[in-house]
């Protein structure tokens, strides 16, 4: 830094620290913080709209809160009482309603419970500064909670003071409000930072509620997944992305996401589907997941018709995209024109296969990729709805702001899918927007491009939103990473061998620890020995013996199948990775039934520890990325202190 720039910067810094005493006080404070234990990070991936298990995991801190309760009370209260206390912390408002109907001496229950909650809050917040804990109290009782957390009732002089606070809270009928506030504080302090490694959308019923909850979370980052990219492309008006989003909603019987959550009007599509496929049973298009308590058979048949109508529209739009973009190298996905409906066959890669559907009334034999006038009008109206949905825009703007292709955080490399590689273990060179890239440079240029699209700096360019579709479907996309997206085959071809999607060589190469280290070096990670790659995207089939741990622990795959539609394949309901001052803890979840059952029966998500990787020493804030920034601040403050001492800059009192 030049002398002039340095002097200018120090004078700006003086606005916050006006004299020697203020500078010294802040240096002392920051140096002390460096020696605190590092905060707990939690990693989740592939939520896929499954709001209830997601919110429960946030509420229980990935098992941390229950662990703290056991630490404090294992030898003093029963397991049943510990279960009840945990459920109260997770869902204080809902649980209090039940308790008030069941407990006769509610004041006595309040007194005992308040003492217990304070002890748990002390345990959870013990590694944070008093200032940080106070700032985390977002509602009322800030002063009172601060006093209770830092007063010891066993102390002779403060015991009566402590008891009087508790008693007065109860007498003033504030116990419920206080329980809710301190429960929220416990949940807030359990997880210091949250990482979402892609795929918030699709399959599950409430991705919008997941995003609403994430928008309120105190500290997080998001790595985009392929399904997030799809919705981002749809929100920006790409028609192929829009058709695909609607198809997936129909496939999983989640049309209400579009109508109720985002105000997308699908009535024109529904009317068209009922008329066009009135005499078609659409058996291949029955919803994959169907809630019989919400819909009857008539609804199911109507959804199947909508499903078929939008699927054909999607394939037509994709065909147009492929023809308009020869640089995407996706000609092998032009399959509508390879069908021979008279023979009931389709030609794929030179081989003929029997097809399951023969009723395609909207296909023009002269140009199968041409939309009918009705289809054209429908997709235009849907595009207008997607682009002007206020709720969807708010959520996509949040994804753009908080999201990235990859993140390096505390020596861990986080990304959803893969880094395209060759069979030889080299980074694959890929043409993107007219230039060639590979490795980190490829992911960087993708992020730069997405950020431009998000910021609307290319809002009039249809070409820019087409890239979002390319990133959803291309074998060269780091979000997808398979040789093809076999959507056509899975709908129309009987031979299931054609449904197979071959993964990019990345997925076999990273079984090798040397390859993992090579990737970590590519992303400029210095502490290779303690670094990890953390991925989602590919469900881990635990029931078949698959492990989420690869390459001697260098790679962790934490998509165990959050989505209910995956549970039968995987045998579990996702993985939770937590990283605290003691090391890494990877847990496997069993399927979660419901929040209602969790509250009434005090049932938690059952987690089994898969791996516990303990560090050689307990990590402090000074060992983290935040610690590096604090050390830089200390260096700057030391320079300001020296400038005050020499008179180079005058102090203010």
- Summarised one tens digit per residue, pLDDT across range 594-611 is 888 888 888 887 666 666
Helices (H) and strands (E) in the chain, counts: 27, 17
**Which residues in 520-535 are b (16+ Cβ under 10 Å) and which e?**
bebbebeeeebbbbbb
Please say whether the beta carbons of 420 and 471 come within 8 A. no
Give CA torsion, residues 73, 76, 78, 80, to 10 deg: -40
pLDDT, position 564: 67
Distance CA 31, CA 391 (A): 44
Please say whether the beta carbons of 467 and 236 come within 8 A. no
Which residue numbers in the chain have pLDDT < 50? 1, 458, 460
Distance CA 84, CA 518 (A): 48
Rounded alpha-carbon distances, angstroms, from residue 383 to 233, 243, 273, 387, 621: 11, 9, 18, 6, 48
Distance CA 612, CA 609 (A): 7
Please give the angle made by the CA atoms of 38, 41 and 46, to the nearest 5 degrees: 170
DSSP state of 606: P
Residues 6+ positions from 455 with CB-CB distance below 8 Å: 400
CA 517 to mean position of chain CA atoms: 25
Burial of 438 (0-12, 13-18, 19+ CB in 10 A): middle
Strand partners, 193: 41
Strand partners, 421: 427
Please say whether the beta carbons of 492 and 352 come within 8 A. no
User: Average model confidence (pLDDT) for the chain?
Assistant: 89
Distance CA 318, CA 244 (A): 10
Distance CA 507, CA 484 (A): 15
3-state SS class at 597: helix
- Alpha helices by DSSP H, listed for 172-264, are 175-190, 207-216, 226-235, 239-251, 255-256
Helix 64-73 to helix 175-190 angle (10° resolution) is 110
pTM: 0.92
- Alpha helices by DSSP H, listed for 285-369, are 297-324
Distance CA 504, CA 287 (A): 29
3-state SS class at 36: coil
Say how many residues make up the chain.
653
pLDDT, position 460: 46
pLDDT, tens digit (0-9, with 9 covering 90-100), for 510-524:
999 999 999 999 999
Question: What radius of gyration, in Å, describes the C-alpha atoms of the chain?
Answer: 28
- Among left, alpha and beta (phi > 0; psi -120 to 50; other), residue 329 is left
Bridge pairing between strands 532-535 and 412-415: parallel
**Which residues in 2-41 are b (16+ Cβ under 10 Å) and which e?**
eeeeeeeebeebbeebeeeebbeebbeebeebbebbbbbb
User: Which of these, 331, 320, 276, 280, lies nearest to 475 by C-alpha position?
Assistant: 331
Question: What is the widest separation between alpha-carbon atoms in the chain?
Answer: 93
């Amino acid at each position: 830094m030049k002398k002039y720039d340095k002097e200018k910067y120090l004078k700006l810094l003086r606005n916050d620290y006006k004299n020697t005493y203020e500078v010294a006080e802040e240096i002392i404070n920051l140096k002390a913080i460096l020696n605190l234990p590092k905060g707990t990070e939690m990693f989740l991936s592939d939520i896929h709209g499954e709001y209830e298990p997601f919110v429960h995991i946030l509420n229980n801190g990935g098992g941390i809160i229950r662990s703290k309760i056991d630490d404090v009370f294992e030898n003093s209260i029963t397991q049943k009482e510990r279960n009840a206390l945990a459920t109260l912390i997770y869902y204080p408002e809902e649980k209090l309603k039940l308790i008030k109907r069941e407990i006769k001496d509610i004041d006595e229950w309040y007194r005992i419970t308040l003492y217990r909650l304070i002890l748990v809050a002390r345990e959870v917040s013990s590694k944070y500064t008093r200032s940080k804990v106070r700032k985390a109290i977002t509602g009322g009782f800030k002063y009172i909670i601060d006093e209770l957390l830092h007063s010891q009732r066993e102390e002779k002089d403060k015991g009566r003071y402590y008891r009087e606070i508790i008693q007065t809270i109860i007498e003033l009928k504030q116990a419920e409000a206080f329980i809710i506030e301190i429960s929220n504080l416990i949940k807030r302090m359990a997880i210091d930072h949250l990482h979402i490694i892609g795929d918030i959308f699709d399959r599950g019923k409430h991705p919008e509620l997941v995003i609403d909850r994430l928008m309120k979370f105190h500290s997080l980052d998001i790595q985009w997944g392929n399904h997030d990219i799809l919705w981002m492309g749809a929100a920006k008006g790409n028609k192929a992305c829009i058709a695909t989003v609607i198809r997936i909603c129909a496939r999983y019987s989640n049309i209400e996401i579009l109508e109720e959550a985002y105000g997308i009007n699908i009535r024109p599509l529904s009317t068209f589907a009922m008329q066009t496929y009135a005499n078609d049973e659409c058996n291949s298009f029955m919803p994959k997941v169907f809630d019989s308590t919400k819909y009857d058979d008539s609804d199911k048949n109507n959804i199947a018709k909508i499903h078929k109508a939008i699927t054909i529209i999607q394939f037509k739009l994709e065909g147009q995209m492929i023809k308009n973009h020869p640089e995407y190298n996706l000609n092998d996905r032009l399959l509508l024109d390879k069908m021979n409906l008279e023979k009931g066959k389709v030609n794929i890669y030179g081989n003929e296969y029997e097809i399951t559907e023969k009723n395609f009334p909207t296909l023009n034999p002269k140009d199968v990729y041409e939309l009918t006038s009705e289809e054209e009008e429908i997709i235009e109206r849907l595009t207008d709805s997607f682009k002007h949905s206020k709720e969807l825009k708010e959520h996509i703007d949040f994804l753009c702001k908080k999201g990235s292709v990859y993140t390096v955080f505390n020596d861990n490399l986080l990304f959803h899918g893969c880094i395209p590689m060759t069979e030889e273990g080299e980074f694959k060179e890929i043409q993107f927007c007219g230039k060639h890239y590979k490795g980190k440079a490829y992911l960087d240029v993708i992020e730069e491009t997405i950020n431009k699209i998000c910021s609307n700096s290319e809002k009039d360019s249809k070409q820019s939103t087409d890239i979002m579709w390319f990133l959803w479907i291309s074998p060269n996309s780091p979000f997808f990473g398979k040789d093809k997206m076999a959507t056509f085959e899975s709908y129309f071809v009987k031979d299931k061998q054609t449904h197979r999607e071959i993964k990019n060589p990345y997925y076999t190469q990273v079984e090798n620890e040397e390859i993992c280290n090579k990737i970590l070096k590519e992303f400029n990670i210095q502490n290779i020995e303690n670094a990890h790659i953390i991925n989602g995207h590919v469900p881990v089939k635990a029931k078949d013996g698959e492990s989420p741990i690869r390459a001697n622990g260098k790679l962790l795959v934490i998509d165990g199948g959050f989505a209910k539609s995956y549970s039968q394949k995987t045998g579990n309901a996702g993985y939770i990775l937590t990283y605290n001052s003691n090391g890494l803890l990877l847990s496997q979840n069993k399927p979660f039934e419901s929040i209602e059952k969790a509250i009434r029966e005090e049932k938690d998500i059952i987690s089994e520890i898969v791996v516990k990787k303990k560090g050689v020493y307990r990590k402090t804030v000074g060992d983290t990325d935040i610690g590096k920034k604090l050390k830089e601040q200390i260096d700057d403050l030391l320079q300001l202190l020296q400038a005050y001492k020499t008179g180079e800059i005058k102090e203010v009192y």
